[in-house]
Chains A and B, each alone.
Chain A
Amino acid sequence: MLSIILLSIFGIVVLFLGFQKSKNILLPATLLCIAIAFAANFVHWNDAPGLYFKEMLFENRLTMSFSAIVLLSAFLVVALTRGFADDEAAQPAEYYAIILFSLVGAIMMIGFDNLIMLFLGVEILSVSMYVLTGSDKRNLRSNEAALKYFLMGAFATGIMLFGIALLYGATGSFNLTDIRGYVGTNSFSISTLLYVGLLLVLIGMLFKVSAAPFHFWTPDVYDGAPTVFTAFMSTIVKTAGFAAIYRLLSGSFEGIYNFWWFTLAAITILTLVVGNITAVYQQSFKRMMAYSSISHAGYLLLSLTAMTAQTPDAIVFYSLAYSLATVSAFGVLMAVAREKSVQSHENAEDFEAFNGLGKRNPLLAFVLTVSMLSLAGIPLTAGFWGKFFIFGTIVERGNLIWMLIVAILMSAVGIYYYFKVIIATYMKDGETGALRVPPFYRIVLIVSTTLTLLFGLIPKLLS
């Protein structure tokens, strides 16, 4: 919980650092802040699970792992921003401060023990995201995306809040433990309000992780937002969202599994199908990644639907694998698109941008290939083990094999669009001339790729 306090203070500090003439200090300062928070996150690693702030927040190894993934992804993404050095209109101090604040929200979502905290966390994270999405003020698409995201987000928040209110009405408490107690003791006379409330809260959360049919905002927002914030959104928000859903369902509602599993299963299947199938048609890499993120939400939901003892480990591993691969993919896109947009004003984020990358910069091509392989779940990458563990939980549950079949079919579809990128990279001819990448950028990409391969070779490393 130390990391929450630290990140709040750091956010204010970074905000005021922005008054300095030189903006160069902001990026290292932010990275340092996140690194310190990362270290602080592990302070209680060896202690027993604990409750903090009057039972508002909960902390155990699982929440610490989720927080670690969030902070690691944030570190990598922030490192990719290059300090917004090439944009005069940017307000780096505010962006970084907002990022730090949003991390506070994410960690609150991961470790909430009280529905109020869940709501606060979701709002802190979401509001930050609305702002960051619209941060490219002169770009109409960015503005449109921000407004869309905000309007729909507000709608979802309202529904979730209504759900929380109903839960309170049914149980008389916001506290997860109390609600669990209510579900446990009144197993035959549970108020209908509780069921409706749970459903509404779930819908609110599913919106945040972009599960179908609440996913419509995702492609437009991912497409419109500046790429670096798209990367941020698709990693941090997703991880935190799934941690929160897991915490909610496992913390309070395991007793009524029979009520919610089918709803979740239906949404899972819909998400998998919509995400994977629509991705096939996309011409823009960013939109493809948006649909890919929807499909990955489907895989994560798969494990939540199974809800076995292995589910938390599977989600942690999958989130990590997915975050690493996504960061690499967007990193390469930024490196390629930046150069392209300088040269011409055509759409720099299409697949064609990668044409001939294998010759222009073998390192970027390799990073992109590993990332795509990991997202597609090909062995020797972390993504393979992620899927493996997720599918393992389904097998463990036993009666959900039909979902597994759909999931495997859909991951076969996934291979099609991920390999489209690899093919563009290596087999299509594009521009010639070496593509230069700053050294710092290169380090970030190498780190994320190395981790992807390392976890792909030795999944046991994370335990």
Chain B
Amino acid sequence: MLSDFGVIFLFIITAIAFIAVALTIARLVRPHRPNVEKLTTYESGEDPLGNANVQFNGRFYVIALIFVLFEVELVFLFPWATVFGQASLIAQTDGLWGWFALAEMAIFVGILALGLVYAWAKGYLDWVRPQPKLPAVKSSVPADLYGKVNKKYAQKTKSV
């Protein structure tokens, strides 16, 4: 009989095997036409150039944190599901167990959802768009004058 750790070991072997098999099959069936863009390192769309030790946008961390939060939630759901579905407990409590466990998980997910709502409402999920500062020059010459001049001379050059 396998011990508990043996089961985990089997899982690990299966995971490695799964990835290996999947990658091998992919390699066999996909077309093979490399170019420069395809061969560069993937980095969320950023250009992988220069020193790696640069300041990243702080938003990455916020998003990552919220992501981790829901990862943990997911991890919690698995053991919960096994307990939730225990037939013996449901039978013993006349079905009440299911409702109880469901309510508990609803509270848990609810609280996490509230956290997401909070982050959303606070605007932490918005990606900061660059807001280029337009140079403003104080001048007695009205801005549209330049435009007019350009138009005028553009017509002239065309005509010539």
Contact = CB atoms under 8 A, between A and B. Distances in A.
Interface of A is mostly: helix
Contacts of B114: 12, 16
Contacts of A12: 111, 114
A256 interface: no
A83 B34 CA distance: 61
Contacts of B111: 12
A128 B114 CA distance: 19
B121 interface: yes
Contacts of B121: 19
Quick one: which of B111, B114, B118, B121 has the most chain A CB within 10 A? B118
A12 B116 CA distance: 12
Contacts of A16: 114, 118
A15 B114 CA distance: 10
Nearest to B118: A15
Contacts, number: 6
Contacts of A19: 121
Interface string A1-43: 0000000000010011001000000000000000000000000
A15 B117 CA distance: 11
A31 B118 CA distance: 22
A358 to B, nearest CB: 46
Interface string B99-128: 000000000000100100010010000000
Contacts of A15: 118
Interface string B21-47: 000000000000000000000000000
A37 B127 CA distance: 39
Contacts of B118: 15-16
A16 B118 CA distance: 7
Nearest to A9: B111
Interface in B70-105: none
A12 B114 CA distance: 8
A19 B121 CA distance: 9
Interface in A30-71: none
Nearest to A8: B111
A454 B111 CA distance: 43
Nearest to A16: B118
B54 to A, nearest CB: 19
A26 to B, nearest CB: 15
Interface string A245-266: 0000000000000000000000
6 contacts: A12-B111, A12-B114, A15-B118, A16-B114, A16-B118, A19-B121
Interface of A: 12, 15-16, 19
